[in-house]
């Protein structure tokens, strides 16, 4: 087991400690070799992630068959999978071709909610299980188990490998604006230094126009090489800088934007605003599949050694659901897991990497507005960088019944009330005449408990 997994239960105590103590403990921890901090598996996954970009199709196929067979054998030992596998006459030990995976049943988030404990491999002792919960933007908490000493070092190795495509190097200075809680008070501090990773943790909860100067001062003092942020937080920061005419006294190597959807328009805007390339990736807490942009292409490439990806039938707009089977997690393997996330497959592949390629993540199954006639409008289709939105700090859609949508907008200092009606007209042009639109000005849009911006609040 890795030292990181052993110390993980103490993380909250570390985060709550005074800064001098955090810095002392953090520097001591970071001085320990990475192979000891993350465990022996970290080195293996690190080497694997670097090597796979040059593998040929046959080498990848052999790796995936072996990894799938191991996951299926582990799954067959659980009460949840054993019965349906037997009913279908499936023997995971005889899995010899990727095409055979289609014979196995699909798994849904609802299954995970109802049968989690039945999906645990009884042959792996409880001390090797790491319990994690995630709600995502849907707000529905889903619990599952990762494999201690495997899942987290694997994630670390693959994230570092793909971040390197935009210039990241291990131990670089990183400023983070994600879900880190710096204070429970509205007037509390906005940051703390995490010496275990050489990261400056900035609050995504306190990022408002009034406190923007504090963020600018903290970033200028720390002088990060990379900004690791929720896309919504990076956009808020960029809009605040633009509208106040403020400049950062920092030359960033890259922006690392994950955990939320990032449109191509938003990526272009961020790259222009910060003068640095953006790296965007797709993944989830369940650690089933992972995809990141290429070294030169902004298309997303699914790591073939991280997990196995399939896609559902494309809908009328050509969007397909991501279906994944996890590798290496012997505690709780997820087989043909329907993620509820949708991608647009690459119509003109760049083929930069020997991996399955998609143009973008176009939305999740709750990121659609529903019209009175039942039409689903992807939020991707509503470009938030139209001129009609100039002067706004943040926006959010709220829908409680089909056909009626509330559009909440947070004004910035350059916002002109005279643009309300043009904004309404522009939105209605995109929504269509089977929508009723309500505009509401707010002082701040709602965020999740993890500090993420919610593009859509829906009760449908």
- Give the pLDDT of residue 366: 45
Query: Beta 291-293 vs 226-229: how paired, if at all?
Result: unpaired
- Give the pLDDT of residue 372: 87
Question: What distance in Å separates the CA atoms of residue 277 and residue 292, rounded to the nearest whole number?
Answer: 14
Question: What distance in Å separates the CA atoms of residue 413 and residue 87, rounded to the nearest whole number?
Answer: 64
- Give the pLDDT of residue 367: 67
- Give the pLDDT of residue 313: 93
List, for residues 123-169, the tens digit of each pLDDT value. 999 999 998 877 544 334 578 899 999 999 999 999 999 999 999 99
- Give the pLDDT of residue 16: 79
Query: Is the backbone of residue 261 left (phi > 0), alpha (psi -120 to 50) or beta?
Result: beta
What does each of the 460 residues of the chain score in pLDDT, given as a tens digit?
A: 678 778 777 877 887 788 888 888 888 888 888 888 888 899 999 999 999 999 999 999 999 999 999 999 999 999 999 999 999 999 999 999 999 999 999 999 889 878 999 999 999 999 999 988 775 443 345 788 999 999 999 999 999 999 999 999 999 999 999 877 777 666 778 899 999 899 999 988 778 888 899 999 999 999 999 999 988 889 989 999 999 999 999 999 999 998 888 888 999 999 999 999 999 999 988 999 999 999 999 999 999 999 999 999 998 788 899 999 999 999 999 999 999 889 998 888 888 999 999 998 886 544 678 888 777 676 655 655 556 676 777 788 999 999 999 999 988 887 888 889 988 988 888 788 888 999 999 988 887 765 666 778 888 7
HSE-CB at 266 with a 13 A cutoff on CA atoms is 27
- Give the pLDDT of residue 368: 74
Q: Which residue has the tokens 């529903």?
A: 370
Structural domains of the chain in order of their starting residue, each with its CATH number: 368-458 (3.30.300.30)
- Give the pLDDT of residue 131: 87
- Give the pLDDT of residue 137: 40
- Give the pLDDT of residue 158: 97
């Amino acid at each position: 087991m890795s030292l990181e997994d052993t110390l993980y239960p103490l993380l909250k105590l570390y985060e709550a400690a005074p800064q001098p103590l955090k810095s002392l403990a953090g520097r001591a921890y970071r001085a320990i070799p990475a192979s000891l901090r993350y465990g022996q598996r970290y080195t293996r996954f690190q080497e694997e992630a670097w090597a796979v970009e040059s593998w040929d199709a046959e080498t990848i196929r052999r790796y995936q068959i072996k990894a799938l067979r191991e996951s299926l054998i582990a799954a067959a030992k659980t009460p949840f999978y054993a019965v349906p596998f037997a009913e279908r006459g499936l023997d995971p030990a005889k899995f010899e071709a990727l095409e055979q995976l289609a014979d196995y049943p699909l798994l849904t988030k609802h299954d995970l909610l109802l049968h989690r404990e039945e999906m645990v491999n009884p042959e792996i002792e409880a001390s090797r299980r790491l319990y994690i919960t995630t709600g995502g933007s849907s707000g529905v908490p889903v619990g599952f188990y990762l494999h201690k000493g495997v899942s987290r070092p694997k994630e670390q190795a693959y994230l570092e490998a793909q971040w390197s495509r935009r210039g990241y190097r291990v131990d670089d200075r990183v400023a983070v604006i994600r879900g880190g809680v710096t204070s429970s008070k509205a007037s509390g501090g906005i940051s703390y230094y995490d010496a275990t990773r050489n990261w400056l943790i900035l609050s995504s909860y306190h990022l408002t126009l009034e406190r923007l100067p504090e963020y600018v001062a903290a970033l200028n003092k720390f002088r990060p090489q990379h900004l690791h942020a929720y896309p919504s937080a990076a956009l808020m920061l960029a809009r605040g800088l633009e509208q106040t005419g403020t400049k950062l006294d920092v030359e960033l190597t890259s922006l690392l934007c994950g955990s939320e959807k990032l449109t191509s328009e938003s990526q272009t805007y961020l790259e222009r605003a910060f003068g640095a390339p953006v790296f965007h990736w797709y993944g989830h807490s369940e650690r089933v599949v992972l995809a990141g942009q290429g070294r030169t292409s902004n298309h997303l490439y699914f790591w073939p050694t991280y997990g196995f990806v399939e896609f559902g039938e494309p809908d009328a707009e050509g969007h397909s659901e991501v279906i994944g089977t996890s590798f290496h997690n012997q505690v709780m393997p997820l087989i043909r897991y329907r993620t509820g996330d949708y991608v647009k497959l690459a119509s003109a592949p760049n083929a930069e990497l020997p991996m399955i390629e998609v143009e973008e993540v176009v939305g999740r199954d709750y990121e659609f507005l529903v019209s009175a006639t039942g039409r689903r409008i992807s939020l991707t289709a509503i470009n938030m960088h139209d001129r009609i939105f100039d002067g706004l700090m943040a926006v959010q859609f709220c829908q409680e019944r089909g056909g009626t949508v509330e559009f909440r907008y947070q004004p910035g200092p350059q916002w002109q009330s005279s643009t309300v009606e043009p904004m309404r007209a522009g939105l209605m042009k995109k929504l269509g005449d089977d929508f009723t639109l309500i505009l509401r000005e707010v002082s701040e849009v709602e965020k999740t408990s993890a500090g993420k911006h919610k593009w859509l609040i829906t009760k449908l």
